[in-house]
Amino acid sequence: MLSLDFLDDVRRMNKRQLYYQVLNFGMIVSSALMIWKGLMVVTGSESPIVVVLSGSMEPAFHRGDLLFLTNRVEDPIRVGEIVVFRIEGREIPIVHRVLKIHEKFVPYIGIVTILMNDYPKFKYAVLFLLGLFVLVHRE
């Protein structure tokens, strides 16, 4: 019923009023897009505003909260900060709190992963050593 009333209102308008309404709607949409693009430039972030979709960050963030993001590259990440990242192939960004910063051997795990992908025999050797460690290690 609502759509029929809307169509009747449009039919009663003369051309000038109709053009004015379309122009107003276009101005609203273009203003929203300009504000969004301006926020992207100011914050340096692809998505300057995101909505919290789950309760995994409670009690700090609840479902439906808005997060304003910035992309500060010059500052190192510290414990307690909130980081947002996007995984390729997924549309929804992931939000986490930094609990601990690993500075010793963890960066080398990435090198081990690359070696395991490039050299399958190395992968089997690592799996053999891990299996041997599990069998020999006692609690």
Domain boundaries, the chain: 1-43, 44-101, 106-136
pLDDT, residue 31, reads: 97
Which uninterrupted H or E stretch holds 9? helix 2-12
Average pLDDT for runs of 10 along the chain of length 139: 69 83 94 94 85 82 86 79 80 81 68 79 87 84
Instruction: Supply the pTM of this predicted model.
Output: 0.53
Residue 30 has a pLDDT of: 97
pLDDT of residue 78: 83
- At residue 5, the pLDDT reads 77
Is residue 26 helix, strand or coil?
helix
E strand spans, 2-109: 49-51, 66-68, 82-85, 94-97
pLDDT of residue 79: 86
Is the Cβ–Cβ distance between 71 and 43 less than 8 Å? yes
